[in-house]
Structures are given as C-alpha cells and as structure tokens.
Amino acid sequence: MTDHAPQRKVVPWLASAVHLVLAPGLVAGLVPWLVTRWHVADHPGWVDPLRWAGLLLALGGAALVTAEFIRFARAGGSPAPPVPTATLVTAGTYRWVRSPMYVAVVAAILGQAAWFVSGWLVVYAAVAFLVMATFVIAYEEPTLRDQFGDDYVAYCRDVPRWIPRKLAQRNRVSAR
C-alpha cells in the first residue's frame, strides 16, 4: 500500500498558490495593470500624501490576502471551491470579518487607484466589490452553511461580513 499523506499535504498548498494567482492576482494585479499600465498620471503635489497612503493600502491588501491563503493551506485546504478546508477557518482576520480576503482585494485595488491617481480603478473597485458580494451571498455563504451547519450560523451571527465590529462584540468567536 502506498502512503499518499505527503501528496495530500501538497494539494492544499498548490491549490492555494494557483487560486492566489488566478483570483486575486488577476482581479487586483492584471486588471489594474491593464487600466493604468502602472503609469502614474500627472497630478498636483498635494496628491502625493494620498498616493503614499494608497501604496500602503495596496501593499497591506496584498499582504493580507497572501497571509490568509497561507492560513487556508495550513488548515488543510484552500479558499478555492474545488479544494475546501475540512474545518471552518475563524482565526486571524476571520475573527474580525467573514470575508477578509475580498475586503483586502478591494483595498489593494483602491490603494492602486490612489497610487496611480486613477478614477477608473475606483470604478473598477466598486464593480469588483459588487461581483464579490454577489458571489459571497449567492454561493459562498450558503455552501459554508451547508458544510458547517450550526457552527457557521453562529459564526455569521458573531462576525460581520465586511466591516469589523468593536473587539468587545467579537468575544464569542474562538480562534480555530
């Protein structure tokens, strides 16, 4: 009998890496590049602090997405629907909001909008958010409810979808 344990450990990491490139990589990387060609438009000097804040927001969003993809792989799955985790992930930024990766992707796009001084990227961020919100509400949450039952229902009751509550209101969520 062949031991497939090492192969099972590689699959979540590979699935997470592929999904990271295909989903947030395209949405927050390729499309903003196609819109801006990563060229900073002429702008008045007063915009410079906004641009630097945007750069920090974009880098923070990218770092958060990467960290949460790693969290999923460590939990034995990925955020990709074909390779889901067997446990409900509620640790890390999932203690603050139910959809931190979507929030981080939109933040990265808005950060690039500020850095590249691009109104088109602001519009694109709004459209991307609407698409992601529709996906979360129509597919992701019902799927997770079916998979994790009462645990997910309780998690939804305790943790907001997009905007974090005060820490005192999140005290019932345990890290997993």
* Structure tokens given for 75: 């939990």
For residues 127, 133, 134 and 136, what is the CA-based torsion angle, rounded to 10 degrees? 150
120 contacts 112 by C-beta, under 8 angstroms: no
* Structure tokens given for 18: 């592929």
pLDDT of residue 12: 76
pLDDT of residue 9: 63
Task: State how far the Cα of 154 lies from the Cα of 142, in Å rounded to an integer.
Answer: 14
pLDDT of residue 19: 82
Task: State how far the Cα of 94 lies from the Cα of 48, in Å rounded to an integer.
Answer: 33
- pTM comes to 0.85
pLDDT of residue 72: 84
Domains and CATH numbers, the chain: 7-170 (1.20.120.1630)
Burial of 26-52, coded b for 16+ CB within 10 Å and e otherwise, reads ebbbebbeebbeeeeeeeeeeeeeebe
Give pLDDT < 70 ranges for the chain: 1-10, 166-176
Q: Give the count of beta carbons closer than 10 Å to the beta carbon of residue 89.
A: 20
